[in-house]
């Protein structure tokens, strides 16, 4: 499976299992003013997942996860970090060999610039009435044969 397809499949599966939503891939640009989180990973290869969720969608996800109709900004931040962690954990097995081991750092908040930085990075997006959720996977460059590892 191609990286973009694996990332998209993992994102859609996580949305349905954790947030009780079904997102549709679409050919439209997402709102980059969303809050973002990143999860650093090291192991067979290194890199990071960066995820952004439109504020109204994050609000709804948080309400669904907590089972409450009124949630705070702190609740939404914690939900964003947890969703980033779960998406990373669900997608990583589809991107690596079953023998590969990884260490995942705790999710942290980050800026849109971290998501929009240049370079090749698989992208998955799902769109719902409330907005979009976006995920990119940035893999670190492997050292060349002449560079120390």
Higher pLDDT, 138 or 145: 138
User: What would the pLDDT profile of 113-130 be if each residue is shown by its tens digit?
Assistant: 898 888 778 777 777 777
For residues 25-43, average pLDDT:
74
Higher pLDDT, 29 or 4: 4
Q: Residue 116 and residue 106: Cα distance in Å, rounded?
A: 21
Q: Residue 60 and residue 28: Cα distance in Å, rounded?
A: 21
Query: Within 13 A of 80's CA, how many CA atoms are on the CB side?
Result: 28
Structural domains of the chain, with CATH: 3-27+36-139 (3.40.1550.10)
pLDDT at 22 over 60: no
């Amino acid at each position: 499976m191609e990286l973009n397809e694996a990332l998209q499949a993992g994102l859609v599966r996580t949305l349905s299992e954790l947030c009780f939503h079904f997102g549709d891939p679409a050919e439209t640009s997402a709102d980059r003013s969303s809050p973002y989180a990143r999860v650093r990973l090291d192991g067979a290869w290194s890199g990071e997942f960066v995820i952004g969720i439109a504020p109204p969608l994050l609000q709804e996800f948080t309400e669904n996860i907590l089972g409450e109709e009124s949630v705070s900004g702190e609740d939404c931040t914690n939900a964003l970090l947890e969703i980033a962690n779960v998406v990373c954990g669900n997608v990583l097995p589809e991107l690596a060999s079953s023998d590969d081991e990884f260490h995942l750092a705790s999710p942290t908040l980050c800026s849109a610039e971290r998501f929009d930085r240049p370079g090749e990075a698989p992208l998955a997006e799902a769109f719902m009435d409330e907005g979009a959720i976006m995920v990119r996977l940035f893999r670190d460059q492997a050292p060349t044969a002449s560079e120390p590892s």
